[in-house]
Amino acid sequence: MVDTPEAVSGAAAQAKPFALMWGLDEQGTRGPKRGLSLDQVIDAAIEVADAEGVAALSMSRVAKRLGFTTMSLYRYVDSKDTLLVLISDRALGLPPELPVGVGWRTGIEAWAEGVSESLRRHPWFVDLPLAAPPMGPCNMAWLDAGLGMFAETAVPEPMKLQLVMNVSLYLIGRMRVAKELAASGDNAEYPVMLSRVLDPQRYPALTRALDAQVFDDDDVEWDDGGLRFGLARLLDGYEQFVRTFEEQS
């Protein structure tokens, strides 16, 4: 099979941040006399994103924060795209000490709570483009910890990965929607607007939901309570899935 130009280009784009995150690239070790380092560049980029959001992040903003010229940063990071990959790993950080010997569900719930706490420390994380699979040491530490929660189950290894990734994508997606809804302001008029246009004959289930004031119900949330509710329902399905493999073994 011959790689397409797009595949080669994508692999090359991933190779640079991968090498930097794992210490395989020595570029930039002979920096300016003031001692700029790759770690300083990454930390400054995170500070800019924390203060102004990831949309405001640029090589020039980071350089200004460090007191260097923009061109000097290119000795350490070849592009903004590479910088985004680097900060996505650094900002996530390493997982905390997680419970052991407590069963996979309790374990993955603690893991998910840890991921959520990491994301809350840097709300801009959920705005990052998902242009490449996670590949840095922090992401790998979290992935290893998540897979470890299913180590004692009979679920095949490829499916363990799917289980962990599904939880991760649920958390990121849910928190991204919550962030965007919060930024959009008051949505109190939403059910009123719908009630004016929805035909009960065409939208019977949704009409019943509106009549029951589901959008006014405090139990329908996008905050932490809603996130935990959705996670619990996801893991309810996992319970049955894991059980099928235990019955086969």
Most confident of 78-82, 187-191, 216-220: 78-82
Q: Answer whether residue 150 shows pLDDT above 90.
A: yes
pTM: 0.85
Half-sphere exposure of 227 toward its Cβ, with a 13 Å CA cutoff?
Answer: 22
Q: Answer whether residue 9 shows pLDDT above 80.
A: no
Q: Which residue, 91, 26, 28, is CA-closest to 54? A: 91
Average pLDDT, the chain: 87
**For the stretch 55-93, what's the b/e string if a residue is b when 16 or more beta carbons lie within 10 angstroms of its beta carbon?**
eebebebbbebbebeeebbebbbbeebbbbbbbbbbbbe
pLDDT of residue 175: 92
Q: Answer whether residue 34 shows pLDDT above 90.
A: no
Contact 119, 175 (CB under 8 A): yes
pLDDT of residue 19: 94
How far is Cα of residue 226 from the mean position of the Cα atoms in its chain?
18
pLDDT of residue 7: 45
Span 62-89, pLDDT tens digits: 999 999 999 999 999 999 999 999 999 9
pLDDT of residue 40: 96
Q: Answer whether residue 151 shows pLDDT above 60.
A: yes
d(CA 109, CA 188): 32
Please give the structure tokens belonging to residue 200: 């009960």
Contact 49, 124 (CB under 8 A): yes
Confidence of residue 2 (pLDDT cuts 50, 70, 90): very low
pLDDT of residue 223: 62
Contact 37, 23 (CB under 8 A): no
Q: Answer whether residue 146 shows pLDDT above 60.
A: yes
Q: What percent of the chain has pLDDT over 90?
A: 67
Question: Which of 75-89, 90-104, 121-135 is predicted with the least confidence, judged by mean pLDDT?
Answer: 121-135
